[in-house]
Amino acid sequence: MCGIVGAIADGDAIPFLMKGLSRLEYRGYDSAGVALLSEGTIERRRAKGDLSALRELLRRNPPRGAIGIGHTRWATHGAPSEKNAHPHIVGETAIVHNGIIENGGALKNALREKGAIFTSQTDSEVIAHLFHAFLADGLAAEDAFAKTLESLEGAFAIAALTCSAPNSLFAAARRSPLVIGRGGAGVYVASDALALAAEAESLIHLEDGERARLTREGFSILNAEGRAVKRVPKKMALQSEEASKGGRRFFMEKEIYETPEAAARALAVPIGEEDGFSAARMRDARQIFFLGCGSAFYAGLAASCWMEKLAGVSARAEIASEFRHRGAALSKRDLAVFVSQSGETADTLSALRHCEREGVPTLALVNVVESTMARLADWTLSIGAGPEIGVASTKTLICQMILLARLALSVAKPAEAKEAREDLSSLPRKLQEALALSEALRAMAKDYLAPSDYVLYLGRGAGYAVALEGALKCKEIAYIPSDGAPAGEMKHGPIALIQEKTPVVVVAPYDRLFPKMLSNMEEIAARGGYLCLLTDAEGAAASKDLTRASVALPAAGEIGAPILHALAAQMLAYHCAVALKHNPDRPRNLAKSVTVE
């Protein structure tokens, strides 16, 4: 989603701003802009489209200045256009903003009555108008910024400049991430630490409601009550090469190939009393809820199967955006487990806050350990996947599944646990073997899925979660309409879509449900559908007369098999996107970290 960068640099701020913005590109955006403050004036350049359009503007007409802010916008209020792109300037102020100003409409009306003229359709522009109005009332810059923040409702991160304080940069965060960084050549602010990967040596994350003033000498932070906040900066943990493609064509490809290594880390993450979280919490829970959005929800869906089957604890997966509104019956004896790569997904955060209000204990499984979710939850576990830049989650889903499986195993019945532990621990090796099947998956994608205008994915149990993941990836990065369905439900509707040559991806390891899957496959073959089977060697042999193509993954158990199949489903979608000449790192309209509800 939208990205913010800001800098007080030793020299020209533009190189940092552009480098920072390009490191934020992965989040998804449709326009971008920068504003520089120099010699009492603010200069701005904005462009619709990707950063190359903005770069071209800067090349032709470079603004100068050591203090600047920049933004990549993902449209919420008003279409993608130059006018709606940030920074927004009113008089002597310029701002960039992430999030939504919930009282934007009312503020706009009130400002209009006082003569303000709006030049964009965004809610963000009210921030620049307010800042300007408070300065015009005679307030000092810092007070005018504080008053502006007081007037705003909603969740947001803001960076602002004003000619009235020509050596300062202002920043604020309310329920939206913003980090301040310090390095040898400047002081920086960004909505994502990744933007500062090469420049900052130390970092401080702004907490909910805090604001900061940055100057060349450093920065000061105040809380919502205006009291000074002292916090020890953390060492920058990211290396700039972690934000590069490492010789691969796409981040998505690079991250898929990092899966075995990431899985080994997820297997080693300590789960235990040292975090104050004990297995007893799960064992004694009346009900465990797994909550997340997109792929993170599917990880929860697989986990609910494992938790019930292996540990006999009642568990259900919930789509976070629905949970808060559907009036779920909650108890203090429940446990809510939040699954999120970014730890910033607005719907998942809202569900977490809802659980907190209802007194339900919360556990967060996140990849970004300094995220809001990690800070809000009662307990946090890091999934250890390492930075993920590709918009569609890949290695993080696999790590989420592994960590969730480990949680289930920590309360599993001893007889079930032993075999499942071995199954899990062999995963890094088997994931590596699965990556070697890339060519077979590429052929399946190219010959059957990519030429089709519809793909159906089927699975059972945790394999149903894999079918959903395959279908989501196929539609979001290859733009092929796809559905994921429980195989048993096929005859209640999806079968109507199967015609001659319709590709059906069947997720069917050779397990106790395989005979049932075989019946489903017969039904598909009888209607001329093209069966593309993800299975193992025994499954491939048992169905070879029915399938058009099959990929035999390493054989694995109840936990390992769906995880291996999830990797294969992701690779299949990746190959579809590449075959259709789509950039899988930049799916249209999508964002990596969805920070609005």
Chain residues binding ligand G6P by CB under 6 A are: 292-296, 340-342, 345, 348, 391-393, 590, 592-594
> What is the closest distance, in whole angstroms, from the C-beta atom of residue 595 to ligand G6P in the complex?
10
Q: How far apart are CA 597 and CA 186, in angstroms?
A: 34
> What is the closest distance, in whole angstroms, from the C-beta atom of residue 27 to ligand G6P in the complex?
10
CB atoms within 10 A of CB 119: 12
**Long-range contacts (CB closer than 8 Å, 24 or more residues apart) made by 408-414:** 408/303, 408/306, 408/307, 408/310, 408/311, 408/559, 409/310, 409/311, 409/559, 410/271, 410/279, 410/282, 411/279, 411/282, 411/283, 411/307, 411/311, 411/313, 412/310, 412/311, 413/310, 413/311, 413/312
Q: Residue 371: what are its φ and ψ, rounded to 5°?
A: -75, 165
162 or 593: CB nearest ligand G6P:
593
393 or 547: CB nearest ligand G6P:
393
Q: 296 burial class (0-12, 13-18, 19+ CB within 10 angstroms)?
A: buried
> What is the closest distance, in whole angstroms, from the C-beta atom of residue 251 to ligand G6P in the complex?
13
Instruction: Name the nearest CA neighbour of 52 among 79, 72, 66.
Output: 72
Instruction: Name the nearest CA neighbour of 574 among 457, 478, 447, 432.
Output: 478
36 or 391: CB nearest ligand G6P:
391
> What is the closest distance, in whole angstroms, from the C-beta atom of residue 242 to ligand G6P in the complex?
17
- The secondary element (H helix, E strand) that includes residue 395 is helix 395-410
Q: How far, rounded to the nearest angstrom, does the alpha carbon of residue 421 sit from its chain's CA centroid?
A: 29
Contact between 569 and 473 under an 8 Å Cβ cutoff? The reply is yes
518 or 590: CB nearest ligand G6P:
590
CB atoms within 10 A of CB 336: 27
* Residues classed as catalytic: 2, 592
Instruction: List CB contacts of 243: < 8 A, sequence separation 6 or more.
Output: 23, 194, 197, 387, 389
Instruction: Name the nearest CA neighbour of 169 among 23, 9, 47.
Output: 9
530 SS3 class: strand
Instruction: Name the nearest CA neighbour of 42 among 128, 101, 112, 114.
Output: 128
307 or 339: CB nearest ligand G6P:
339
Q: How far is CA 99 from CA 44, 178, 457, in A?
A: 21, 12, 35
111 or 155: CB nearest ligand G6P:
155
Instruction: Name the nearest CA neighbour of 581 among 479, 444, 452, 475.
Output: 479
68 or 294: CB nearest ligand G6P:
294
> What is the closest distance, in whole angstroms, from the C-beta atom of residue 203 to ligand G6P in the complex?
20
Amino acid at site 8:
I
Instruction: Name the nearest CA neighbour of 77 among 45, 120, 108, 117.
Output: 120
Instruction: Tell me the residue number closest to ligand G6P, measured at CB.
Output: 294
> What is the closest distance, in whole angstroms, from the C-beta atom of residue 460 to ligand G6P in the complex?
22
Contact between 74 and 2 under an 8 Å Cβ cutoff? The reply is yes
> What is the closest distance, in whole angstroms, from the C-beta atom of residue 26 to ligand G6P in the complex?
10
Q: Does the bond joining 87 to the residue before it have cis omega, within 30 degrees of 0?
A: yes
477 or 504: CB nearest ligand G6P:
477
> What is the closest distance, in whole angstroms, from the C-beta atom of residue 50 to ligand G6P in the complex?
18
> What is the closest distance, in whole angstroms, from the C-beta atom of residue 295 to ligand G6P in the complex?
4
203 or 299: CB nearest ligand G6P:
299
